[in-house]
Structure 1
Protein backbone atom coordinates (compact mmCIF):
# COMPACT_ATOMS: atom_id res chain seq x y z
CA UNK A 1 0.00 0.00 0.00
CA UNK A 2 2.85 2.39 0.79
CA UNK A 3 4.47 1.75 -2.60
CA UNK A 4 1.17 2.38 -4.37
CA UNK A 5 0.54 5.61 -2.45
CA UNK A 6 4.04 6.88 -3.27
CA UNK A 7 3.67 6.07 -6.96
CA UNK A 8 0.21 7.63 -7.10
CA UNK A 9 1.55 10.84 -5.53
CA UNK A 10 4.39 11.09 -8.06
CA UNK A 11 2.02 10.55 -10.99
CA UNK A 12 -0.37 13.21 -9.72
CA UNK A 13 2.48 15.70 -9.30
CA UNK A 14 3.63 15.13 -12.90
CA UNK A 15 0.11 15.72 -14.17
CA UNK A 16 -0.29 18.88 -12.10
CA UNK A 17 2.73 20.34 -13.92
CA UNK A 18 1.09 20.05 -17.34
CA UNK A 19 0.32 23.38 -19.00
CA UNK A 20 -3.13 24.33 -20.34
CA UNK A 21 -1.77 24.09 -23.90
CA UNK A 22 -0.48 20.57 -23.21
CA UNK A 23 -3.90 19.56 -21.91
CA UNK A 24 -5.58 20.99 -25.02
CA UNK A 25 -3.14 19.17 -27.29
CA UNK A 26 -3.83 15.94 -25.43
CA UNK A 27 -7.59 16.36 -25.83
CA UNK A 28 -7.18 16.80 -29.58
CA UNK A 29 -4.89 13.77 -29.72
CA UNK A 30 -7.41 11.60 -27.86
CA UNK A 31 -10.08 12.65 -30.34
CA UNK A 32 -7.94 11.12 -33.10
CA UNK A 33 -6.59 8.02 -31.37
CA UNK A 34 -9.94 7.19 -29.77
CA UNK A 35 -11.66 7.14 -33.14
CA UNK A 36 -8.85 5.04 -34.60
CA UNK A 37 -9.22 2.51 -31.79
CA UNK A 38 -12.97 2.24 -32.37
CA UNK A 39 -12.42 1.78 -36.09
CA UNK A 40 -9.92 -1.02 -35.45
CA UNK A 41 -12.28 -2.74 -32.98
CA UNK A 42 -15.01 -2.78 -35.66
CA UNK A 43 -17.74 -3.24 -33.07
CA UNK A 44 -21.11 -4.74 -34.07
CA UNK A 45 -24.15 -2.45 -34.06
CA UNK A 46 -25.52 -4.00 -30.87
CA UNK A 47 -22.27 -3.03 -29.10
CA UNK A 48 -22.02 0.52 -30.49
CA UNK A 49 -22.34 2.17 -27.08
CA UNK A 50 -19.30 3.80 -25.47
CA UNK A 51 -18.88 4.41 -21.74
CA UNK A 52 -16.48 7.12 -20.64
CA UNK A 53 -16.00 9.71 -17.92
CA UNK A 54 -16.03 13.47 -17.37
CA UNK A 55 -12.39 14.49 -16.88
CA UNK A 56 -11.43 16.47 -13.80
CA UNK A 57 -8.37 18.66 -13.37
CA UNK A 58 -5.43 17.34 -15.38
CA UNK A 59 -7.00 13.98 -16.26
CA UNK A 60 -6.71 13.10 -19.96
CA UNK A 61 -9.62 14.99 -21.50
CA UNK A 62 -11.93 12.67 -23.45
CA UNK A 63 -14.82 15.14 -23.72
CA UNK A 64 -14.04 16.12 -27.33
CA UNK A 65 -13.91 12.44 -28.26
CA UNK A 66 -17.18 11.65 -26.49
CA UNK A 67 -18.86 14.66 -28.12
CA UNK A 68 -17.89 13.58 -31.64
CA UNK A 69 -18.85 9.96 -30.96
CA UNK A 70 -22.25 11.12 -29.69
CA UNK A 71 -22.74 13.24 -32.80
CA UNK A 72 -21.84 10.20 -34.91
CA UNK A 73 -24.59 8.10 -33.33
CA UNK A 74 -22.79 6.24 -30.56
CA UNK A 75 -24.84 6.11 -27.34
CA UNK A 76 -22.59 7.54 -24.61
CA UNK A 77 -22.83 6.64 -20.93
CA UNK A 78 -20.99 8.08 -17.94
CA UNK A 79 -20.59 6.83 -14.38
CA UNK A 80 -22.59 7.98 -11.37
CA UNK A 81 -21.09 7.25 -7.95
CA UNK A 82 -23.29 5.32 -5.55
CA UNK A 83 -23.07 4.29 -1.90
CA UNK A 84 -20.47 1.69 -0.90
CA UNK A 85 -18.11 2.78 -3.69
CA UNK A 86 -20.36 1.39 -6.44
CA UNK A 87 -20.95 2.78 -9.93
CA UNK A 88 -24.15 3.14 -11.91
CA UNK A 89 -24.33 4.58 -15.44
CA UNK A 90 -26.48 7.17 -17.17
CA UNK A 91 -26.83 8.48 -20.74
CA UNK A 92 -24.78 11.54 -21.68
CA UNK A 93 -24.91 13.90 -24.64
CA UNK A 94 -23.71 17.49 -25.14
CA UNK A 95 -25.87 19.84 -23.09
CA UNK A 96 -27.23 17.27 -20.63
CA UNK A 97 -27.72 18.58 -17.09
CA UNK A 98 -24.79 17.94 -14.72
CA UNK A 99 -24.72 17.99 -10.95
CA UNK A 100 -22.14 17.50 -8.22
CA UNK A 101 -21.86 13.93 -6.97
CA UNK A 102 -23.03 13.17 -3.45
CA UNK A 103 -20.16 10.72 -3.00
CA UNK A 104 -17.11 12.06 -4.89
CA UNK A 105 -15.69 15.45 -6.01
CA UNK A 106 -16.92 15.04 -9.60
CA UNK A 107 -19.75 16.19 -11.84
CA UNK A 108 -22.25 13.62 -13.09
CA UNK A 109 -24.99 13.68 -15.73
CA UNK A 110 -28.60 13.62 -14.56
CA UNK A 111 -30.73 10.79 -15.93
CA UNK A 112 -31.99 7.23 -15.57
CA UNK A 113 -29.49 4.98 -13.82
CA UNK A 114 -28.38 1.62 -15.22
CA UNK A 115 -26.52 -1.27 -13.61
CA UNK A 116 -23.86 -3.58 -15.05
CA UNK A 117 -26.34 -5.11 -17.52
CA UNK A 118 -26.03 -1.90 -19.56
CA UNK A 119 -22.56 -3.10 -20.52
CA UNK A 120 -24.16 -5.70 -22.80
CA UNK A 121 -24.69 -2.80 -25.23
CA UNK A 122 -21.31 -1.14 -24.62
CA UNK A 123 -18.43 -2.03 -26.93
CA UNK A 124 -15.75 0.21 -25.42
CA UNK A 125 -15.32 1.33 -21.83
CA UNK A 126 -12.89 4.23 -21.36
CA UNK A 127 -11.48 4.14 -17.85
CA UNK A 128 -9.62 6.99 -16.14
CA UNK A 129 -6.22 5.96 -14.81
CA UNK A 130 -3.00 7.45 -13.49
CA UNK A 131 -0.87 4.79 -15.20
CA UNK A 132 -1.08 1.37 -16.82
CA UNK A 133 1.62 -1.22 -17.41
CA UNK A 134 2.26 -3.62 -20.28
CA UNK A 135 0.29 -6.37 -18.50
CA UNK A 136 -2.82 -4.18 -18.33
CA UNK A 137 -2.44 -3.42 -14.62
CA UNK A 138 -4.08 -0.04 -14.04
CA UNK A 139 -3.50 2.46 -11.26
CA UNK A 140 -6.60 4.46 -10.39
CA UNK A 141 -7.16 7.37 -8.07
CA UNK A 142 -7.58 5.11 -5.04
CA UNK A 143 -11.33 5.18 -4.47
CA UNK A 144 -11.88 1.63 -5.69
CA UNK A 145 -15.05 2.44 -7.67
CA UNK A 146 -13.78 1.05 -10.95
CA UNK A 147 -12.15 -2.08 -9.54
CA UNK A 148 -15.42 -2.98 -7.83
CA UNK A 149 -17.37 -2.34 -11.01
CA UNK A 150 -14.98 -4.15 -13.32
CA UNK A 151 -15.20 -7.23 -11.09
CA UNK A 152 -18.93 -7.41 -11.88
CA UNK A 153 -18.34 -7.66 -15.64
CA UNK A 154 -17.94 -11.42 -15.19
CA UNK A 155 -21.74 -11.51 -14.98
CA UNK A 156 -21.99 -10.64 -18.69
CA UNK A 157 -21.86 -12.92 -21.71
CA UNK A 158 -19.45 -10.51 -23.40
CA UNK A 159 -17.77 -7.65 -21.54
CA UNK A 160 -16.82 -4.44 -23.33
CA UNK A 161 -13.25 -3.75 -24.39
CA UNK A 162 -11.53 -1.96 -21.50
CA UNK A 163 -9.20 0.94 -22.29
CA UNK A 164 -7.27 2.87 -19.63
CA UNK A 165 -6.92 6.50 -20.73
CA UNK A 166 -3.50 7.89 -19.81
CA UNK A 167 -0.72 10.11 -21.13
CA UNK A 168 1.93 8.32 -23.17
CA UNK A 169 4.52 8.72 -20.39
CA UNK A 170 2.15 6.81 -18.09
CA UNK A 171 2.28 3.60 -20.14
CA UNK A 172 4.88 1.68 -18.14
CA UNK A 173 6.82 -1.56 -18.41
CA UNK A 174 5.30 -4.79 -17.13
CA UNK A 175 5.43 -4.87 -13.35
CA UNK A 176 6.10 -1.15 -13.01
CA UNK A 177 2.65 -0.36 -11.61
CA UNK A 178 2.23 -1.25 -7.94
CA UNK A 179 -0.82 -3.50 -7.66
CA UNK A 180 -3.02 -5.49 -5.29
CA UNK A 181 -4.82 -8.77 -5.82
CA UNK A 182 -8.18 -7.04 -6.37
CA UNK A 183 -6.90 -4.75 -9.16
CA UNK A 184 -8.69 -5.46 -12.46
CA UNK A 185 -6.64 -5.58 -15.68
CA UNK A 186 -7.58 -3.65 -18.83
CA UNK A 187 -7.24 -4.56 -22.51
CA UNK A 188 -5.79 -1.37 -24.00
CA UNK A 189 -3.92 1.78 -23.15
CA UNK A 190 -5.33 4.82 -24.95
CA UNK A 191 -3.11 7.90 -25.10
CA UNK A 192 -3.14 11.15 -27.11
CA UNK A 193 -0.40 9.72 -29.36
CA UNK A 194 -1.27 6.03 -29.70
CA UNK A 195 -3.23 3.09 -28.41
CA UNK A 196 -1.64 -0.18 -27.33
CA UNK A 197 -3.11 -3.67 -27.00
CA UNK A 198 -2.11 -4.98 -23.55
CA UNK A 199 -3.67 -8.43 -23.81
CA UNK A 200 -1.12 -11.24 -23.62
Structure 2
Protein backbone atom coordinates (compact mmCIF):
# COMPACT_ATOMS: atom_id res chain seq x y z
CA UNK A 1 0.00 0.00 0.00
CA UNK A 2 2.89 2.37 0.78
CA UNK A 3 3.90 3.00 -2.87
CA UNK A 4 0.30 3.81 -3.80
CA UNK A 5 -0.10 6.29 -0.94
CA UNK A 6 3.25 7.93 -1.69
CA UNK A 7 2.30 8.31 -5.36
CA UNK A 8 -1.05 9.86 -4.39
CA UNK A 9 0.67 12.23 -1.95
CA UNK A 10 3.35 13.20 -4.48
CA UNK A 11 0.72 14.74 -6.72
CA UNK A 12 -1.12 16.47 -3.89
CA UNK A 13 1.07 18.90 -1.98
CA UNK A 14 2.95 19.38 1.26
CA UNK A 15 0.49 18.68 4.11
CA UNK A 16 -1.15 15.27 4.50
CA UNK A 17 -3.72 14.53 7.19
CA UNK A 18 -3.51 10.86 8.06
CA UNK A 19 -4.09 8.53 11.02
CA UNK A 20 -2.47 5.75 13.00
CA UNK A 21 -4.46 2.54 12.52
CA UNK A 22 -6.33 0.64 15.19
CA UNK A 23 -6.13 -3.14 15.14
CA UNK A 24 -6.09 -4.48 11.59
CA UNK A 25 -6.86 -1.17 9.86
CA UNK A 26 -4.57 -0.46 6.88
CA UNK A 27 -1.74 1.99 7.43
CA UNK A 28 1.17 2.16 9.85
CA UNK A 29 3.70 4.40 11.53
CA UNK A 30 6.11 3.25 8.80
CA UNK A 31 3.75 4.71 6.18
CA UNK A 32 3.63 8.01 8.07
CA UNK A 33 7.42 8.01 8.36
CA UNK A 34 7.67 7.39 4.59
CA UNK A 35 5.39 10.39 3.95
CA UNK A 36 7.61 12.52 6.18
CA UNK A 37 10.75 11.23 4.44
CA UNK A 38 9.18 12.26 1.12
CA UNK A 39 8.94 15.84 2.43
CA UNK A 40 5.33 15.94 3.64
CA UNK A 41 4.12 17.49 6.85
CA UNK A 42 1.92 14.80 8.42
CA UNK A 43 -0.94 15.78 10.72
CA UNK A 44 -2.81 13.24 12.84
CA UNK A 45 -6.23 13.57 14.44
CA UNK A 46 -6.75 14.34 18.09
CA UNK A 47 -10.13 13.30 19.44
CA UNK A 48 -11.91 16.04 21.43
CA UNK A 49 -13.25 15.40 24.96
CA UNK A 50 -16.85 15.48 23.66
CA UNK A 51 -18.00 14.33 20.18
CA UNK A 52 -17.26 17.05 17.67
CA UNK A 53 -14.62 18.15 15.17
CA UNK A 54 -11.22 16.50 15.24
CA UNK A 55 -8.27 18.60 16.33
CA UNK A 56 -4.88 17.99 14.64
CA UNK A 57 -1.25 17.77 15.68
CA UNK A 58 2.01 17.17 13.78
CA UNK A 59 3.34 13.65 13.60
CA UNK A 60 7.07 13.80 14.26
CA UNK A 61 7.69 10.09 14.73
CA UNK A 62 6.46 7.08 16.69
CA UNK A 63 8.34 8.17 19.81
CA UNK A 64 6.14 11.29 20.10
CA UNK A 65 2.80 9.46 20.13
CA UNK A 66 0.76 8.52 23.20
CA UNK A 67 -2.52 6.86 24.08
CA UNK A 68 -5.68 8.79 23.26
CA UNK A 69 -9.39 8.12 23.69
CA UNK A 70 -11.23 5.37 21.82
CA UNK A 71 -8.09 3.24 21.56
CA UNK A 72 -6.33 5.77 19.31
CA UNK A 73 -2.73 6.88 19.45
CA UNK A 74 -2.25 10.64 19.16
CA UNK A 75 0.69 13.01 18.76
CA UNK A 76 1.88 14.48 22.05
CA UNK A 77 2.87 17.84 20.53
CA UNK A 78 0.94 21.12 20.35
CA UNK A 79 -2.61 21.08 19.04
CA UNK A 80 -3.09 22.97 15.78
CA UNK A 81 -6.86 23.42 15.99
CA UNK A 82 -9.79 22.01 14.07
CA UNK A 83 -9.07 24.31 11.12
CA UNK A 84 -5.71 22.66 10.40
CA UNK A 85 -7.43 20.18 8.09
CA UNK A 86 -8.09 23.13 5.78
CA UNK A 87 -4.43 23.29 4.79
CA UNK A 88 -4.23 19.59 3.85
CA UNK A 89 -3.48 18.74 0.24
CA UNK A 90 -4.53 15.12 0.88
CA UNK A 91 -6.60 13.51 3.63
CA UNK A 92 -6.21 9.80 4.37
CA UNK A 93 -9.17 8.45 6.33
CA UNK A 94 -9.74 5.10 8.01
CA UNK A 95 -12.64 2.90 7.03
CA UNK A 96 -14.04 -0.58 7.34
CA UNK A 97 -15.41 -0.47 3.78
CA UNK A 98 -16.33 1.95 0.98
CA UNK A 99 -18.48 1.76 -2.10
CA UNK A 100 -18.00 2.96 -5.65
CA UNK A 101 -19.99 6.15 -4.93
CA UNK A 102 -17.52 7.10 -2.20
CA UNK A 103 -19.70 6.17 0.75
CA UNK A 104 -17.38 5.16 3.59
CA UNK A 105 -18.23 2.93 6.50
CA UNK A 106 -16.33 4.03 9.59
CA UNK A 107 -16.47 3.01 13.22
CA UNK A 108 -19.63 5.01 13.88
CA UNK A 109 -18.38 7.95 15.93
CA UNK A 110 -19.02 10.54 13.20
CA UNK A 111 -15.82 12.48 13.93
CA UNK A 112 -14.60 12.37 10.32
CA UNK A 113 -18.03 13.21 8.89
CA UNK A 114 -18.09 16.31 11.11
CA UNK A 115 -14.50 17.26 10.25
CA UNK A 116 -14.12 16.56 6.50
CA UNK A 117 -16.30 19.51 5.41
CA UNK A 118 -13.43 21.71 6.67
CA UNK A 119 -11.19 20.65 3.79
CA UNK A 120 -10.62 22.90 0.81
CA UNK A 121 -12.70 22.13 -2.30
CA UNK A 122 -10.83 19.67 -4.52
CA UNK A 123 -8.82 18.10 -1.70
CA UNK A 124 -8.53 14.36 -2.31
CA UNK A 125 -10.17 12.32 0.46
CA UNK A 126 -8.80 8.77 0.29
CA UNK A 127 -9.85 5.81 2.41
CA UNK A 128 -7.24 3.10 3.00
CA UNK A 129 -8.78 -0.35 2.63
CA UNK A 130 -7.84 -4.00 2.47
CA UNK A 131 -8.62 -5.86 -0.75
CA UNK A 132 -12.27 -6.94 -0.63
CA UNK A 133 -13.42 -3.91 1.38
CA UNK A 134 -14.38 -1.90 -1.72
CA UNK A 135 -17.97 -2.94 -2.41
CA UNK A 136 -20.69 -2.02 -4.88
CA UNK A 137 -23.02 -0.24 -2.45
CA UNK A 138 -23.30 0.77 1.19
CA UNK A 139 -26.15 2.57 2.96
CA UNK A 140 -25.60 6.29 3.40
CA UNK A 141 -27.00 8.93 5.72
CA UNK A 142 -27.39 12.59 4.79
CA UNK A 143 -24.48 13.59 7.05
CA UNK A 144 -22.01 11.09 5.52
CA UNK A 145 -19.15 12.80 3.66
CA UNK A 146 -18.13 10.71 0.63
CA UNK A 147 -14.48 10.06 -0.17
CA UNK A 148 -12.92 10.60 -3.60
CA UNK A 149 -10.72 7.48 -3.74
CA UNK A 150 -9.92 4.16 -2.14
CA UNK A 151 -6.33 2.96 -1.80
CA UNK A 152 -5.97 -0.83 -1.89
CA UNK A 153 -2.76 -2.83 -1.40
CA UNK A 154 -2.87 -4.60 -4.79
CA UNK A 155 -5.16 -2.54 -7.03
CA UNK A 156 -3.73 0.76 -5.89
CA UNK A 157 -5.74 3.98 -6.01
CA UNK A 158 -9.30 3.57 -7.25
CA UNK A 159 -11.21 6.81 -8.01
CA UNK A 160 -14.70 6.83 -6.53
CA UNK A 161 -17.89 8.60 -7.58
CA UNK A 162 -17.54 11.63 -5.33
CA UNK A 163 -15.92 14.79 -6.64
CA UNK A 164 -15.13 16.91 -3.59
TM-score, structure 2 length as denominator?
0.88
Q: Check conservation: 1:49, 1:124, Cα contact below 8 A.
A: yes
Distance in 2 separating the partners of 1:120 and 1:145: 15
Paired with 1:189 and 1:116, the residues of 2 have a C-alpha distance of 24
Q: Which residue of 2 aligns with 1:195?
A: 157
Per-residue CA distance 1:9-68 (angstroms, 9 max, x = gap): xxxxxxxxxxxxxxxxxxxxx1111122234xx23xxx4111111111111123322111
Return the offset for 1:152.
3.4
Q: Which runs of 4+ in 1 moved over 6 A?
A: none
Q: How does 1:90-169 map to 2 (within 5 A)?
A: 90-101=57-68, 103-153=69-119, 156=120, 158=121, 160-169=123-132
Query: How many pairs does the alignment contain?
Result: 160
The answer for unaligned runs of 5 or more in structure 2 is none
CA distance in 2 between partners of 1:163 and 1:121 (Å): 16
Aligned-partner Cα distance in 2 for 1:63–1:160 = 23
**Residues in 2 aligned to 1:192 and 1:72: alpha-carbon distance in whole angstroms:** 19
Cα displacement (A) at 1:104: 1.7
**8 Å contact from structure 1 (residues 119, 159) kept in 2:** no
Deviates more, 1:143-152 or 1:71-80: 143-152
Inter-partner Cα distance in structure 1 for 2:116 and 2:87: 15
Residue by residue, what CA displacement relative to the aligned partner does 1:98-156 show, whole Å, maximum 9, x if unpaired?
A: 2221x322111111112343234311100000000000000001111111111333xx4
| Corresponding residue number in structure 2 for 1:8 | none
Pick the aligned partner of 2:55 from 88, 95, 117.
Answer: 88
CA distance in 2 between counterparts of 1:137 and 1:197 reads 12
For structure 1, the 5+ residue unaligned runs are 1-29
Q: Relative to 1, partners in 2 of residues 1:199 and 1:48: Cα closer, same or farther, differing over 3 Å?
A: farther
TM-score normalised by length of structure 1: 0.74
Distance 1:169 1:180, change over 3 A: same
Supply the RMSD in Å over aligned alpha carbons. 1.7
1:159 shift after superposition: 5.4
